[in-house]
Amino acid sequence: MSGQRERPGESVASEAPDCGGAATETEPAVPDPAAVLGRVPTRTSLGRELAAAARTRGLSSSVRDELVDISDAIAAIEIEAVDLDAARRRVAAASGEEERLKERVAALRGRVQARRETGAETDDALGELESAAAELSVAQSERVAAEQALRRARERAADARDARERRLELRDRLRNRRRDARRELAREVYPAFREALGAVPGGDPEDAGERLGGYAGPALAGSLAAVRLARVERPVVLGTEAVAWIADRGGTAPESVVDAAVLRPCRKPGR
């Protein structure tokens, strides 16, 4: 276990209760403890709670640097949006125009030949043939350009698929390393968690068991104990369920329970 303090992400829990919804942001490589412990109930696992508490106490996991490296690698991946359908439509349109002009040129050549055979004047027919031949040349160039563009688009699409696969692999790896980090950090503070259980309503150190994963007590008591052992700098928002839990079990001041400043739930107007 390293002694250096992890640098959590920028997102933090609001200092005031949020009566509406809150936008979610991309999770940072090293989660901000306030995002986990800033509200009770936390709606997350005990392992995440304890890992967050460990970070507030200046602890960092042995895979911290790897987490940052993987997260940076994911952020560096840029995936181009490639419109293959548009490229295919361009080829189809160019090919269709080329075929139409080929037929027109062939028809005009036949007309010129027929007039020559009968000794008729051919100036107008030759003019139309030259004009159609010029249009055909342009259409052929457009078709070649469209095919080349489609080929390049397919290459870019293949590169984009490779990038997406690489990003998925990195995300899987990041999830696995985050799980390793949480387990390591939670294990480090588990003795302190067991002790904190004795100071929260409804908590019992015996519920912690001997090791991480053995907790068999109420989830709310576990969350309150995790917040209590953490060194939080911002007020903790207690939901109605948490406030009622404390009040129904002795009425100890919530601030004393979590050993931090507390914000109560939002109240509806007129209540």
Task: For residue 237, give the H/E element and its range.
Answer: strand 236-238
- Residue 26 has what pLDDT? 53
Residue 225: CA atoms inside 13 Å, Cβ hemisphere, count? Answer: 30
pLDDT on residue 161: 96
Residue that has been written with the tokens 């007309």 in this structure: 111
Furthest CA-CA distance within the chain = 118
pLDDT for residue 69: 95
pLDDT of residue 208: 94
> Mean pLDDT for each consecutive 10-residue tract of the chain (271 residues)?
39 36 51 90 95 95 94 94 95 97 95 90 91 96 97 96 97 95 96 95 92 91 96 92 91 90 69 47
Average pLDDT score over the chain: 87
Q: What is the pLDDT of residue 113?
A: 92
What does the pLDDT read at residue 268?
52
Tell me: the pLDDT tens digits for 90-144?
Answer: 999 999 999 999 999 999 999 999 989 888 898 998 999 999 999 999 999 999 9
Note the pLDDT of residue 20. Answer: 40
Report the pLDDT value the prediction gives residue 251, as an integer from 0 to 100.
77
Between CA 149 and CA 266 the distance in angstroms is 58
DSSP-derived 3-state class of residue 236: strand
Q: What pLDDT sits at residue 75? A: 94
Q: What is the DSSP string of 88-121?
A: HHHHHHHHHHHHHHHHHHHHHHHHHHHHHHHT--
Nearest-CA neighbor of 35 among 186, 258, 230, 244? Answer: 230
Segments making up each domain of the chain, as ranges:
84-169
Say what the pLDDT of residue 110 is.
95
